[in-house]
Amino acid sequence: MRETPRPQGTAGDAGPELPQRRPGRAIAHTAGASGSGTPHRSDGRPPHTPRGARQTGPTGHLGTIPPVPRWPVLLVSTAGALLALFLVITWQVLADGPLLDPDERLGLELAGRGPAPLADLFADLGNMQVAVPVLACAVLVAWLRHDRRAAVYAVLAMAAVPALVVPLKLWTDRQGPLTQATGYFPSGHTTTAMVAYGAAALLLARHLRRTWVTLVAAVLLTAATSAGLVLRGYHWPLDVVAAWCLSGVLLLALRAGTRSGQPPE
C-alpha cells in the first residue's frame, strides 16, 4: 500500500503549508538585496577571497588577465626596422649597388657648401674628446642619484660603439668623398655623437621633469654633427644614415634596459 508523505512542521504550525521565508534574514539568491545575488557578504562588504577582488573582463568573466603593455612590441619592431635598413645599406656598399651612385652624387654636391668654420665646429661634436665627457657627466649624475643600473648600461652602450664600428670599417673598406683613404663606412663620428648625447639625454631625463629638453638637445647635437661631416666632405650621406641606424639600435637597447627599473626618488 502506497504511503502518502505527511507534511512536516513544528508544534506551532496550524496546517500543512510549506515553510515560509522569514523576513529580515539574508536570502542567498535574491537579486537586489544587500549581500544577495552575488557572492558577497550579507553586510555589504566584499569577501576577503582573491576571487572577489578580481576585475571583470570585456565579456564579464572573472579573472581576466590585464592587457600586456605595448611598449616592448613597438621597441622591438623599431629596432628591427633600423637593423634591416642598416643591413640593406651595408649590402649596397659591399656589392657596389645602385644606391651608391646617387649617394656619391649628392655627397659631392654638398661637400664644400656652407661656412667651413661652422661646419668644422659641427663635425667636431662627434669627436671622442667632446662627446664622451658629456656622457661621463650624465653617468656621474645618475650614479650619485643611485640610478646605477642605468649608468652601467649607458657605459656599455658607449663601449659598444668602437667594438662595432671599427670591424665594420675594416670589412666594408669604403673610400671617402675627397680622399683616397678607405674605411669610412659607417660614420664613427656620427655614431659616437648619437650614442653619447642620446644616452646622456636618457639618463638625465630620468631625473628631470622636463624630459623633452634633453631629448631635443641630443637630436640637435646629432643633426649638427651629421650635417658638418657631410658639408665638409668627411663622409658620404649613406655613411651617416647607416650610423643613425646602428646608433638607434644601441639607444633602443639602452632604453629597454633602463625602462624596467624606475629611477630612485
pTM for this prediction? 0.71
Average pLDDT value for residue range 79-87: 96
> What is the per-residue pLDDT for 84?
97
Q: What is the DSSP letter of 3?
A: P
Cα 92 to its chain centre, rounded Å, is: 29
Q: What are phi and psi of 135, to 5 degrees?
A: -65, -35
> What is the per-residue pLDDT for 32?
46
Binning pLDDT at 50, 70 and 90, where does residue 26 land? very low
CA nearest to 254, candidates 221, 224, 218: 218
Helix orientation angle between 148-172 and 188-205, rounded to the nearest 10 degrees: 170
* pLDDT > 90: percent of the chain: 60
Residue 43 CB contacts under 8 Å (≥ 6 apart), including other chains: 34, 35
